[in-house]
Amino acid sequence: MKMMKTLFKCSKAFLLILVFILSEILFAQNFTITQLTDDKTADAWAEMEIDDNGKIHITWVKGKIDSTTGNFILSVYYTNNIEGDFAAPKKVSDEYLMISEPTIAVTNNGVAHIIWGAPISGVENNELFYTNNEDGTFSTPIQITTNTKSSGSPHIAIDSNGIMHALWLLHGVQYMKYMNNSGGTFSEPITILEDVRNPQFVLDNQNNIHAVAVKSTNDGNVLNFNVVYVNNIHGTFSEEVLLPQPPNFQEVDIYHPMIAIDSNQKFHVIWKYSSQDQKEGVYYSNNINGEFSFPSAIVDNLADILHASLVDDSNNNIHIAYATEGDIFYTNNIAGSFISSVAVTDDTTTEAIMRSNQRNIVFNEIENTVSILYFRQPAEDIATIELMLATASIIAEVDIEGSQIVQEFNLSQNYPNPFNPNTSIEFSLPSSGYVSLKIYSLLGEEITSLLTEILPSGNHNVSFDGQNLNSGIYFYQLNFDGVSLRKKMILLK
């Protein structure tokens, strides 16, 4: 038994060393920073998308002082790196006194579609506007909503049939609205949810919509916030599902949920929280095992987090970027669980910013790189906000002989067996996920639950103490990713 404990401690230490080595390998190349704007204007509200050829398309809002009126005016701009370097920014909208963040979707052949919210007169009566560059240049923007007066925070996606799906927020009444252009023109908007904010969505491989948002409820004494999820798998939108909450959720506010879908059609959700003691963090949940998991903290107890964004890759790894205290940070779960965050920016002369719940991170499957979009504000010129892009190579697969990066789900025979009264149960996981390990009697009655939590990939060891049980035959069962493994053990006193 002492030998087993010694071996396990060595094994655990080796795993920690390996994870550290992997994290160094994953970030052996520092992020390369590209400045996309340098004309001393105030840029804001940026979002990007990547096409099937690995080319990045970016839209954002640029602000400047009108030399005639003295007003601060805003316009939507666009650029891409189709020709290698990023092209000179193109203005794609009219000029407004106010703009709601633009959103972008790109077709397989690189055509960009952009929607934004803007007032039709003055600074009131916000409606949605749309343009695309299908003919090589951006078309004259058209108004696609009428009489909503407060439309904003739009998000769009294009399905495999070329149909555009749009979801946005009707401010004031806080309604989440939806429409599409399946009939050639945009449909009449419908209301999906009420009393929500910060909507986001993705499409699955059947072109169904899966959306998340922040919902507020008031029980008369406390205002509560939840991340809610809906879909239209069955043709109409489902009833909302509340994602599990971390402890003391009544004492926190929630912002900007983001959702991604992997190749197994499983969903990954992150959101920012803010507690009453002014601490902030980012939570993560997934439905790999059918239901959304209890949220785990990617980062916790920080002073200030502006925004977090996520993306998945073809190997079902999750990549997350977030902004805090003037810098941008990045993490991923390629090694099985989320590793310590890596600083993308580290410049004391500027402040790095990410805004709202827009898509600020993409993964390039062709070049195996991750890119993060953010703003930089020079300390010596607070009126200037510059658009920046950080890119780094990522090693998605590492093959180290003798490492504990396991390839299959496995449950070992307990040792020792027979035992009295203690024994160890070892198992291995090919990926991170929710795990349960339970003990059953010979008649199938549950005796105890040894484990119910999310674990990283790798080898694991759990001890079982049978001192309160009678001698006899027992079973231990391990559940992971919809699969159950069971083995027999003998308690002999």
Give the whole-angstrom CA distance, residue 88 versus residue 79: 7
pLDDT of residue 17: 41
Closest by alpha carbon to 335, among 28, 25, 9, 31?
A: 25
Q: What is the largest CA-CA distance in the chain?
A: 93
Digits of tens for pLDDT over the chain (493 positions)? 333 333 333 444 444 444 444 444 444 347 899 999 876 666 678 999 999 999 999 999 988 888 788 788 889 999 999 999 999 999 999 988 888 889 999 998 899 999 999 888 765 678 999 999 999 999 999 999 987 768 888 999 999 999 999 999 988 778 999 999 998 899 999 999 999 988 999 999 999 999 999 998 776 666 778 899 999 999 999 999 999 887 655 557 888 899 999 999 999 999 988 877 767 888 999 998 888 998 888 887 776 777 889 999 988 999 999 988 788 889 888 877 787 788 888 776 677 777 666 889 999 998 889 999 998 887 676 667 888 999 998 764 433 333 444 567 899 999 999 999 999 999 998 887 788 999 998 777 889 999 888 888 888 999 999 999 998 889 999 988 778 888 989 998 8
How much of the chain is in helix, strand and coil states, percent to nearest 5?
5, 50, 40
Give the whole-angstrom CA distance, residue 425 versus residue 449: 13
CATH number of 28-393: 2.120.10.10
pLDDT of residue 123: 57
- Domain range list for the chain: 28-393, 406-491
* Pairing label, strands 100-106, 112-121: antiparallel
pLDDT of residue 420: 92
Task: For residue 108, give Cα distances in angstroms to 105, 166, 406.
Answer: 10, 18, 35
Contact (Cβ atoms closer than 8 angstroms) between residue 351 and residue 361: no
Give the whole-angstrom CA distance, residue 471 versus residue 125: 76
pLDDT of residue 356: 66
pLDDT of residue 104: 96
Hey, what are 100's tokens?
């709601």
Contact (Cβ atoms closer than 8 angstroms) between residue 200 and residue 216: no
Region of 153 on the Ramachandran plot (φ > 0 left; ψ -120 to 50 alpha; else beta): left
CA dihedral 53, 362, 317, 450 (to 10 degrees): -160
Give the whole-angstrom CA distance, residue 342 versus residue 30: 10
pLDDT of residue 147: 78
Closest by alpha carbon to 54, among 393, 372, 369, 366?
A: 366
Region of 309 on the Ramachandran plot (φ > 0 left; ψ -120 to 50 alpha; else beta): beta
Give the whole-angstrom CA distance, residue 43 versus residue 25: 34
Closest by alpha carbon to 447, among 474, 473, 412?
A: 474
Give the whole-angstrom CA distance, residue 365 versus residue 358: 21
Give the whole-angstrom CA distance, residue 217 versus residue 238: 19
pTM of the model: 0.75
Radius of gyration of the chain (CA): 25
- Residue owning tokens 């294009």: 158
Please list, in sequence order, all residues whose beta carbon lies within 8 angstroms of the beta carbon of residue 27, skipping any fewer than 6 positions away: 342, 392
Find residue 230's DSSP bridge partners. Answer: 211
Closest by alpha carbon to 32, among 307, 369, 354, 384?
A: 369
Contact (Cβ atoms closer than 8 angstroms) between residue 284 and residue 292: no
Contact (Cβ atoms closer than 8 angstroms) between residue 310 and residue 359: no
User: How many CB atoms neighbour CB 263 within 10 A?
Assistant: 11
Give the whole-angstrom CA distance, residue 314 versus residue 406: 19
pLDDT in tens, 311-365: 999 889 999 999 887 888 898 888 777 877 888 887 766 777 776 668 899 999 9
Task: For residue 369, give Cα distances in angstroms to 275, 294, 319, 362.
Answer: 34, 30, 11, 9
Q: In what order do the strands lie in the sheet with 100-106?
A: 100-106, 112-121, 124-132, 142-143
Three-state DSSP at 20 gives helix
Q: Phi and psi (nearest 5°) for 136?
A: 100, -35
Contact (Cβ atoms closer than 8 angstroms) between residue 331 and residue 311: no
Same fold, 28-393 and 406-491: no
Sign of CA dihedral 271, 272, 275, 279: positive
Give the whole-angstrom CA distance, residue 78 versus residue 55: 13
Q: Counting every residue, how long is the chain? A: 493
User: How many CB atoms neighbour CB 214 within 10 A?
Assistant: 23
406-491 falls under which CATH superfamily? Answer: Macroglobulin (MG2) domain (2.60.40.1930)
Give the whole-angstrom CA distance, residue 342 versus residue 1: 40
Mean pLDDT estimate for the chain: 83
pLDDT of residue 84: 92
pLDDT of residue 361: 94
